[in-house]
Amino acid sequence: MLARAARVIAYDRAMHIVITHNEPGAGLAWQRELSRRLPDLQISIDPGCPDGAAGLPGTRSHPASAELASADIAIGWKPPADFFSRHSRLQAFFSTGAGVDHLLRHPGLPAGLTIIRLEDAGMGPLMADYCLHELLRIAGRHDAYAAQQRDRCWQELPAFSREDLPVGIVGVGVLGAQVGAHLARAGFTVRGFARSAKSIEGVEVMHGDRAWPAFLAASRVLILLAPHTPQTDKLIDAAALRLLQPQGWLINVARGALVVEADLIAELDSGRLAGATLDVFRQEPLPASDPLWHHRAVRITPHVSAPTQIGPSAEQIAGKIGALRRGERCSGQVDSQRGY
């Protein structure tokens, strides 16, 4: 895979980059940021995405369709259904997010296409602050006080100490490791769970199927930061949630598909689980009819725990394209068998 990517991009002819992004405005923003950093390359917006009819004036942003078909590299998020059939000579795809499930589940994805993801690119500190903020809210009983305020009730409740709230993080890769270290520095006891052994300052990392029940049993607040893969789909079901310490919390900042929503609601309704903070959902936007919207113990944010930071991300991608053009390796290449 590495050799393929390094070989692919060292073309003699000028490289053509195509941007595809499902959000209006994002295609143009990426074109602007990348054109500044890669001024010698042709950078187009795919006509099949919302910004496809637009483009930077003065750039070669409206190539004829024959040229578009010869794009060498794609950069983007959630390409349209016919994207890969229109870009048949594509050699690499840079995801404008850390996750690549939007690509690996694309029915038209060509086998063997090199996929490169964002690595941190400014998301780590945001994710770490989001999780710390949630933990401090839990510790300070802020949900209970918000409910009391609605009832005009003045009643002091015992706060939780750091020791009361041992944290378990499922997935301690680029982002999970930063979250873990941040929470540990803030005085929480933090364990991580990954597929392989690793060392993170202040965090005990467990791995392997046999360690899974013990990891859950040691956690009262469970943070999800693993990718969505066939192995993590529905990983957090009733059985997993029941292994958590009593009156636990779930913080899902990974992907909604990791959680069995009906089981989560049942655990919250039974009172075994005290609350959940959900930033991600199996279907996004979360449908208005979804019961999670109205659950008293659920906090919802619209997939904003660590938004892509376009400046640092464009800088990272431009740096990697430069490395590949020089025939060097670059990090962040996805193992499509593994799923991340």
The binding site for ligand GLV (CB under 6 A) comprises: 97-99, 308
Closest-CB residue for ligand NAP?
Answer: 173
Return the C-alpha torsion angle 276, 278, 282, 285, nearest 10: 140
Residue nearest to ligand GLV (CB): 97
Give the active site residue among 152, 255, 272, 299.
255
The separation between CA 27 and the C-alpha centre of its own chain, rounded to angstroms, equals 19
Q: Is 120 left (phi over 0), alpha (psi -120 to 50) or beta?
A: left
Active site includes 210?
Answer: no
**Per-residue CA distances from 269 to 142, 164, 245, 291 (Å):** 19, 22, 16, 12
CA-CA distance, 332 to 126, in Å (whole number)? 20
Considering only residues 248 through 307, tell me which ones interact with ligand NAP, judged by CB under 6 A: 253-255, 279-280, 303, 305-306
**Which of ligand GLV, ligand NAP, none binds 172 (CB below 5-8 Å, type-dependent)?**
ligand NAP
Q: Does 169 bind ligand NAP (CB under 6 A)?
A: no
Stretch that binds ligand NAP, among 104-112, 171-179, 261-269, 309-317 (CB under 6 A): 171-179
Residue 316 interaction partner, one of ligand NAP, ligand GLV, none, beta carbon < 5-8 Å per kind? none
Q: Looking at beta carbons only, is 6 or 98 nearer to ligand GLV?
A: 98
First to last CA, the chain: 14
231 binds, among ligand GLV, ligand NAP, none (CB under 5 to 8 A by kind): ligand NAP
Residue type, 198: K
Half-sphere exposure of 158 (CA within 13 A, CB side): 4
d(CA 6, CA 11): 10
The least CB distance from residue 230 to ligand NAP, in Å, is 9
Rule CB under 6 A: choose which of 115, 175, 260, 330 binds ligand NAP: 175
Strand partners, 170: 193, 224
Q: Of the two residues 72 and 263, which places its CB atom closer to ligand NAP in the complex?
A: 263
Q: Would you say 19 or 216 has its CB closer to ligand GLV? A: 19
**Is 87 tagged catalytic?**
no
What gap in Å lies between CA 132 and CA 293, rounded to an integer? 23
Selected catalytic residue, list 303, 325, 326, 329 = 303
**Which positions are catalytic?**
255, 303
